[in-house]
Amino acid sequence: DMAYRVVADHIRTLSFAIADGATPSNDGRGYVLRRVLRRAVRYGRQNLGADLGFFATLVPKLVELMGDTFPELRKNQAHVTAVIKDKEESFSKTLDKGLIR
């Protein structure tokens, strides 16, 4: 139950921030977003048994639920999905390397 709430809260946080122009990175607010994304991906993979790429697939459902209230989310859906997918794949490779050791 806790893992689902973490993932749901984090997809909202990231999607709104990316739609507003922020990007997960190594500095400033981007670093906070990077940590949020990594925590959600780790929770999903380890606690929910989710597959690689699961996090980016949540964006369309979020847009369906909140897109009417927040039109910038609907307008930037493709960009949000692409950024999350790219960062998720990158982190998943790092996570898989760490789990193998």
Model pLDDT, residue 101 = 55
How far is Cα 40 from Cα 55, in angstroms, rounded to an integer? 8
Model pLDDT, residue 100 = 59
95: confidence class by pLDDT, cuts 50, 70, 90 = confident
How far is Cα 62 from Cα 77, in angstroms, rounded to an integer? 10
How far is Cα 96 from Cα 54, in angstroms, rounded to an integer? 15
Alpha-carbon distance values, 16 to 12, 26, 48, 80 (Å): 6, 19, 24, 9
Model pLDDT, residue 82 = 97
Percent of the chain's residues with pLDDT above 90? 78
- Specify whether the CB–CB gap between 81 and 59 falls below 8 A: yes
Kindly tell me if the per-residue pLDDT of 64 is higher than 80: yes
- Rounded CA Rg of the chain: 13
68: confidence class by pLDDT, cuts 50, 70, 90 = very high
